């Protein structure tokens, strides 16, 4: 068998061990519970959620690259830094606890202490997460009320309430999961996320929580999350803004009783592919739910010198306000796509570039290609729009996701605080 044939066999074998679970969430793996409630931070909607593992779990995280990191991020990183483990995650929506100084940091630690006490776990096994308006202090009386309400609420609420409690301007909840066959044993990975605005590929500008019952040591878990983030959450953009609070947390509690999964394990690639699939689906759901969005834009770039070059070009296209506006207006204006490729900062040969909007080739070898404008317009009326870029200069490739730019984006963000 040729090397190429062996790779194809491995790819097929890997996919046969992965089952998609579109309705699954963070409680799909063994030993996790989640819930949400209303504590009064927001006017009406659920505003406090939690995830809890029966046992301390190996933990990994990636965090916003915005220099104004919010207090909860600092506290969560501090928690993970003690033993590389987490057992519970507390999330509030409505107020971000960002740019709140020493008081904000004190409040975040206070949240951690209260939450860990209520669920009877070590304080450093608790993570705290906040999302919402920047620059306003948390109403700690309401926060404390919410935390003290968790114990009696645990039997009455579940993961659906958690998914709702973490939302801000989102129009829908976001979740996905997979079932894996790891060395003959069933393993699950499940995830939930929020994100609609302030979404830009610069880490993972939103909140995402992923759980698994696989047994994965912290260093390998962190490596896997970093690797997967680069090809999923880092490949989405809604508006070019990177927030102060965003993070992705990954927990592995080992309750599926598998062998320790490391890169040396025969099924490590199965686990990695399953994790990537969960994060990719969450990324696409976030991009599709961009504030005011009506369409998901998927840009596939091939033929680049490296994957990194392909990623940069893909991000440039999905981040272009003019491309996004053209998609909203069902205008096959390929000139805007070409411009976005050209200002991406990547060295490409314009004479090799091919651009297709769905099935319609609009540019060939850097020159206009004849296509049916009316049929292209009909294609652009769909909810998912694919743009294919061929660079003819290597094997590097990437896929990026974004959304169209509608009138509602301005309306939503013009009145965000009111």
Q: Which residue has the tokens 């057992």?
A: 87
Q: For the residues 82-104, what does the mean pLDDT come to?
A: 95
pLDDT above 60 (res 389)? yes
Q: For the residues 303-312, what does the mean pLDDT come to?
A: 94
Average pLDDT, the chain: 89
d(CA 182, CA 201): 32
Give all strands of the β-sheet with 296-304 in edge-to-edge order. Answer: 367-368, 360-364, 354-357, 384-390, 296-304, 396-403
Lowest mean pLDDT among 4-8, 19-23, 251-255: 4-8
pLDDT of residue 4: 45
Lowest mean pLDDT among 172-181, 229-238, 239-248, 295-304: 239-248
pLDDT of residue 382: 93
pLDDT of residue 172: 86
Which carries the bigger pLDDT value, residue 64 or residue 362? 362
Q: For the residues 22-50, what does the mean pLDDT come to?
A: 97
Which carries the bigger pLDDT value, residue 131 or residue 246? 131
Query: Is residue 31 very low, low, confident or very high in pLDDT (cuts 50, 70, 90)?
Result: very high
Rama region for 159: left / alpha / beta (φ>0; ψ in -120 to 50; rest): alpha
Which carries the bigger pLDDT value, residue 405 or residue 122? 122
Give the whole-number percent of the chain exceeding pLDDT 70: 88
Q: For the residues 105-129, what does the mean pLDDT come to?
A: 98
Which carries the bigger pLDDT value, residue 390 or residue 231? 390
d(CA 241, CA 244): 10
pLDDT of residue 171: 81
pLDDT of residue 271: 97
Query: Is residue 9 very low, low, confident or very high in pLDDT (cuts 50, 70, 90)?
Result: very low
Rama region for 392: left / alpha / beta (φ>0; ψ in -120 to 50; rest): left
Please list, residue by residue across 337-363, b when 16 or more beta carbons sit within 10 angstroms of its beta carbon and e when fewer do. Answer: bbbbbeebebebeeeebbbbbbebbbb
pLDDT above 80 (res 291)? no
Give the whole-number percent of the chain exceeding pLDDT 90: 70
Query: Is residue 334 very low, low, confident or very high in pLDDT (cuts 50, 70, 90)?
Result: very high
Instruction: Tell how strand 384-390 and strand 296-304 pair up.
Output: parallel
Q: For the residues 157-177, what does the mean pLDDT come to?
A: 93
Q: For the residues 207-224, what does the mean pLDDT come to?
A: 97
Which carries the bigger pLDDT value, residue 61 or residue 230? 61
Residue of 27, 76, 205, 212 marked active site: 205
Strands, E, within 347-395: which ranges? 354-357, 360-364, 367-368, 384-390
Q: For the residues 333-344, what does the mean pLDDT come to?
A: 92
Domains of the chain: 14-288 (3.60.70.12), 296-414 (3.10.20.340)
Q: What is Dmax (Cα atoms) for the chain?
A: 67
pLDDT above 60 (res 258)? yes
Q: For the residues 338-344, what does the mean pLDDT come to?
A: 91
d(CA 266, CA 262): 9
Q: For the residues 397-407, what does the mean pLDDT come to?
A: 84
Annotated active-site residue 205? The verdict is: yes
Token couple for 382 = 């769909």
Cβ pair 103, 89 in contact under 8 A: no
Which carries the bigger pLDDT value, residue 147 or residue 243? 147
Q: For the residues 240-248, what does the mean pLDDT come to?
A: 65
Which residues neighbour 394 within 8 Å (Cβ) at sequence distance 6 or greater? 303, 304, 305, 306, 309
pLDDT of residue 128: 97
pLDDT of residue 198: 46
pLDDT of residue 202: 41
Q: For the residues 192-203, what does the mean pLDDT come to?
A: 61
């Amino acid at each position: 068998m040729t090397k190429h044939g062996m790779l194809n066999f491995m790819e097929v074998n890997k996919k046969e061990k992965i089952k998609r679970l579109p309705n699954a969430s963070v409680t799909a793996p063994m030993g996790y519970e989640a819930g949400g409630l209303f504590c009064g931070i927001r006017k009406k909607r659920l505003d406090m959620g939690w995830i809890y593992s029966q046992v301390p779990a190996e933990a990994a995280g990636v965090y916003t690259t915005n220099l104004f990191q919010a207090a909860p991020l600092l506290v969560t990183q501090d928690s993970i830094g003690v033993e590389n483990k987490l057992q519970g995650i507390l999330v509030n929506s409505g107020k971000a606890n960002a740019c709140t100084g020493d008081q904000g940091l004190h409040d975040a630690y206070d949240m951690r202490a209260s939450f860990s006490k209520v669920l009877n776990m070590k304080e450093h096994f608790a993570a705290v997460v906040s999302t919402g308006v920047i620059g306003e202090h948390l109403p700690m009386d309401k926060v404390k009320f919410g935390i003290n309400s968790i114990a009696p609420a645990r039997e009455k609420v579940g993961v659906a309430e958690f998914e709702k409690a973490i939302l801000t301007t989102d129009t829908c909840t976001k979740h996905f999961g997979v079932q894996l066959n790891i060395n003959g044993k069933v393993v699950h990975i499940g995830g939930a996320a929020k994100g609609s605005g302030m979404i830009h590929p610069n880490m993972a500008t939103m909140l995402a929580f992923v759980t698994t019952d696989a047994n994965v040591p912290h260093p390998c878990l962190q490596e896997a999350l970093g690797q997967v983030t680069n090809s999923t959450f880092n490949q989405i953009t809604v508006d070019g803004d990177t927030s102060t609070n965003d993070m992705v947390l990954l927990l592995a509690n080992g309750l599926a009783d598998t062998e320790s999964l490391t890169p040396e394990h025969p099924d490590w690639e199965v686990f990695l592919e399953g994790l990537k699939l969960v994060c990719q689906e969450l990324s696409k759901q976030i991009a599709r739910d961009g504030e005011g969005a009506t369409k998901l834009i998927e840009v596939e770039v091939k033929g680049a010198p490296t994957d990194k070059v392909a990623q940069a070009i893909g991000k440039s296209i999905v981040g272009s306000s003019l491309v996004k506006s053209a998609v909203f207006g069902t205008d096959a204006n390929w000139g805007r796509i070409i411009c976005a490729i050209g200002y991406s900062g990547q060295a490409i040969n314009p004479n090799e570039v091919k651009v297709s909007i769905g099935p319609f080739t609009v540019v060939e070898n850097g020159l206009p290609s004849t296509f049916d404008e009316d049929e292209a317009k009909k294609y652009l009326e769909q909810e998912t729009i694919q743009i294919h870029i061929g660079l003819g200069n290597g094997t590097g490739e990437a896929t990026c996701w974004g959304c169209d730019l509608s009138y509602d984006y301005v309306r939503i963000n013009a009145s965000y605080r009111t």
